[in-house]
Chain A
Amino acid sequence: METIKITIDNKQVEVEKGTTILSAARKMGIDIPTLCHMRLDDLNIENKPGGCRICVVEVQGRRNLSPACITKCDDGTVIRTHTPRVMNARRTVMEFILSDHPKDCLICPKSGSCELQDMANRLGIREIPGQEIAAMSTYRKDTSPSIIRDLDKCIMCRRCEMMCNDVQTVGALSAVNRGFMAAVAPAFEQNLEHSPCTYCGQCVAVCPTGALTEVDHTRDVLRAIVDPAKVVVVQTAPAVRAALGEEFGLKPGTLVTGKLVSALKELGFDYVFDTDFAADLTIMEEGTELLNRLGKFLKGDENSNIPILTSCCPGWVNFFEHNFPELKDVPSTAKSPQQMFGAIAKSYFADKIKINRKDMVVVSIMPCLAKKWEAQRPEFSVDGNPDVDFSISTRELAHFIRQANIDFVNLPDSDFDRPLGESTGAGVIFGNTGGVIEAAVRTAYELFTGKKLSRLDFTELRGMEGVRQATIDFDGFPLNIGIAHGLGNARKLLEDVKAGRSKFHAIEVMACPGGCIGGGGQPLHHGDSSILKSRARALYEEDKNKPIRVSHENPYIIQLYKEFLGEPNSEKAHHLLHTHYFDRKAKIVVKP
Chain B
Amino acid sequence: MSSIKIELRQQDIDKITEICDSFNNEPLELINVLHKTQEHFGYLPAEIQEVIASRLNVSTAQVYGVVTFYSFFTMTPKGKHPISICMGTACYVRGAEKVLDEFKKELSLQVGQTTADGKFSLSSLRCVGACGLAPVVLVGEKTYGRVAPDDVKAILKEYA
Contact = CB atoms under 8 A, between A and B. Distances in A.
A247 interface: no
Contacts of A188: 1, 3, 46, 60, 64
Contact of A176 (B3, B50, B58, B61): B61
B137 interface: no
Interface string B41-81: 00000110111011000111111110011000000000000
Interface string A545-580: 000000000000000000000000000000000000
Given A177-B1, A589-B7, A591-B9, A171 B60 contact: yes
A187 B13 contact: no
Nearest to A181: B68
A586 interface: yes
A235 B39 CA distance: 58
Contacts of B58: 171
Given A196-B59, A590-B7, A590-B9, A187 B64 contact: yes
Given A185-B61, A189-B1, A590-B13, A177 B68 contact: yes
B69 A171 contact: no
Interface residues of A, number: 22
A195 B64 CA distance: 13
A589 B49 contact: no
B10 interface: yes
Contacts of A176: 61, 64-65, 68-69
A213 B46 CA distance: 28
A175 B47 contact: no
A178 B46 contact: no
Contacts of A187: 46, 49-50, 53, 59-61, 63-64
Contacts of B8: 588-591
A588 B13 contact: yes
Q: Binding site of A, secondary structure by majority: helix, strand, loop or mixed?
A: loop
B50 A586 contact: yes
Nearest to A172: B61
Nearest to B70: A178
Contact of A591 (B1, B3, B7): B7
A186 interface: yes
Interface centre among B49, B51, B61, B68 (most CB of A within 10 A): B61
Nearest to B75: A188
A165 interface: yes
Given A187-B46, A588-B47, A588-B51, A172 B59 contact: yes
A52 to B, nearest CB: 19
Interface in B1-59: 1, 3, 7-10, 13, 46-47, 49-51, 53-54, 58-59
Contact of B61 (A177, A178, A195): A195
Nearest to B49: A187
Contacts of A304: none
A360 to B, nearest CB: 41
Interface string A179-193: 000000111110000
A188 B48 CA distance: 12
A188 B69 CA distance: 13
A174 B50 contact: no
Contacts, number: 67
Contacts of B7: 589-591
A173 interface: yes
B100 to A, nearest CB: 18
Nearest to A591: B7
B10 A174 contact: no
Nearest to B46: A188
A172 B60 CA distance: 8
B61 to A, nearest CB: 4
Interface in A194-209: 195-196
B61 A173 contact: yes
A171 to B, nearest CB: 3
A185 B63 CA distance: 12
Contacts of A586: 50, 60
A171 B56 CA distance: 13
A178 B46 CA distance: 18
Given A586-B50, A588-B51, A591-B9, A174 B1 contact: no
Contacts of B9: 590-591
A178 B58 CA distance: 20
A477 to B, nearest CB: 38
A256 B46 CA distance: 50
Contacts of A589: 7-8, 47
A195 B65 CA distance: 14
Contacts of A175: 65, 69
Interface centre among A170, A175, A176, A195 (most CB of B within 10 A): A176
Interface string B118-149: 00000000000000000000000000000000
B133 to A, nearest CB: 27
B62 A174 contact: yes
A177 B69 contact: yes
Given A165-B62, A176-B61, 8 more contacts: A171-B59, A174-B59, A176-B68, A178-B68, A187-B59, A195-B61, A589-B8, A590-B7
26 contacts: A171-B60, A171-B61, A172-B59, A172-B61, A173-B61, A175-B65, A176-B65, A176-B69, A177-B1, A178-B68, A185-B61, A187-B53, A187-B59, A187-B61, A187-B63, A188-B46, A188-B60, A195-B61, A586-B50, A588-B8, A588-B47, A588-B54, A589-B7, A589-B8, A590-B7, A590-B13
Interface of B: 1, 3, 7-10, 13, 46-47, 49-51, 53-54, 58-65, 68-69
Interface of A: 165, 170-178, 185-189, 195-196, 586, 588-591
Nearest 6 Cβ contacts at the A-B interface: A171-B59, A174-B61, A174-B65, A591-B7, A187-B60, A187-B61
